[in-house]
Amino acid sequence: MNKKSKIYFTVLFMLLFVSVFIPYALNISFSKKGKFDKYIGESQLHLIKTYETGEVILFYIDQGARAALKQAISNLGLTQTDFNRQKINKTKKRLLPEFQNNFLKITDNFPETKIPIIIDEYEFNLKRKGNSVELLGKYSDILKLEIRTDNKIVFTEAEIIKGERLGYYLLNPSFRETVAIT
């Protein structure tokens, strides 16, 4: 075979290859069963939305703890002298039940769902820092927020609401709040 015939043969073969193989490959790829019904990045978007919801919940808990502590101090009429080293244990016994009631009322009013906080799971530490009081609330458990495609806020592990669950976002609703006292 000479050079011209090799060139013609190669061009003819390439045209035949393109005109037969490409339509065949496209036909197979478009007729595949089990096509993707989601857009690229949709699962990541649900993960980001769940993260944002979790951060809003944690912020709500922090702000709720601050408001509950201020309200408890105000309701009991506590002053700086109540937080001296000699009196702080008595003050703590009076303050914590009032704080817990206020805190539960605030967290029960979260706009979209009830935050499943069990107040007995908290370990509270109260101490004075200058002209302020610091309350540390350490939660001994983890809240599981489901990562869902239907954008519902669900904390339970049971599949009560229909929709696809992609996993869990774990929340630790601990807080550290400092409030000035007079």
Q: Is residue 99 predicted with pLDDT exceeding 60?
A: yes
- Predicted local confidence at residue 45, as pLDDT: 85
- Average pLDDT rounded to a whole number, residues 97-119: 84
Tell me, what DSSP letter sits at residue 35?
-
| pLDDT at position 46 | 82
By the 10 Å C-beta count (0-12 exposed, 13-18 middle, 19+ buried), 62 is classed as middle
Strand, coil or helix: what is 7?
helix
Report residue 170: phi and psi, to 5°. Answer: -90, 135
Q: What's the pLDDT band for 8 if we cut at 50, 70, 90?
A: confident
pLDDT at 67: 93
Q: What is the 3-state secondary structure (H, E, C) of 137-177?
A: EEECCCEEEEEECCCCCCCCCCCCCCCCEEEEEEECCCEEE
Average the pLDDT over 41-68 and give the result.
87
In this prediction, residue 32 has a pLDDT band, given cuts at 50, 70 and 90, of: low
According to the model, what pLDDT value does residue 35 have? 57
- Pairwise CA distance, residues 44 & 52, whole Å: 12
Q: Which DSSP string corresponds to 58-120?
A: HHHHHHHHHHHHHHHHHHHT--GGGGSTTTHHHHHHHHHHHHHHHHHHHHHT-SSS-----GG
Q: Tens digits of per-residue pLDDT, 125-174? A: 988 888 888 999 998 888 888 777 776 777 754 444 445 556 778 888 89
Give the SS3 label for residue 15: helix
Q: Is 179 helix (H, G, I), strand (E, B) or coil?
A: strand
Q: Where does the pLDDT of residue 30 fall: very low under 50, low under 70, confident under 90, or very high at 90 and above?
A: confident
CA distances (Å), origin 99, targets 5, 77, 106, 115, 171 = 93, 13, 11, 17, 22
Distance CA 103, CA 118 (A): 11
Alpha-carbon dihedral angle through residues 30, 34, 36, 38, given to the nearest 10 degrees: 140
Find the mean pLDDT for residues 96-108.
90
- Residue 136 is predicted with a pLDDT of 93
Higher pLDDT, 69 or 38: 69
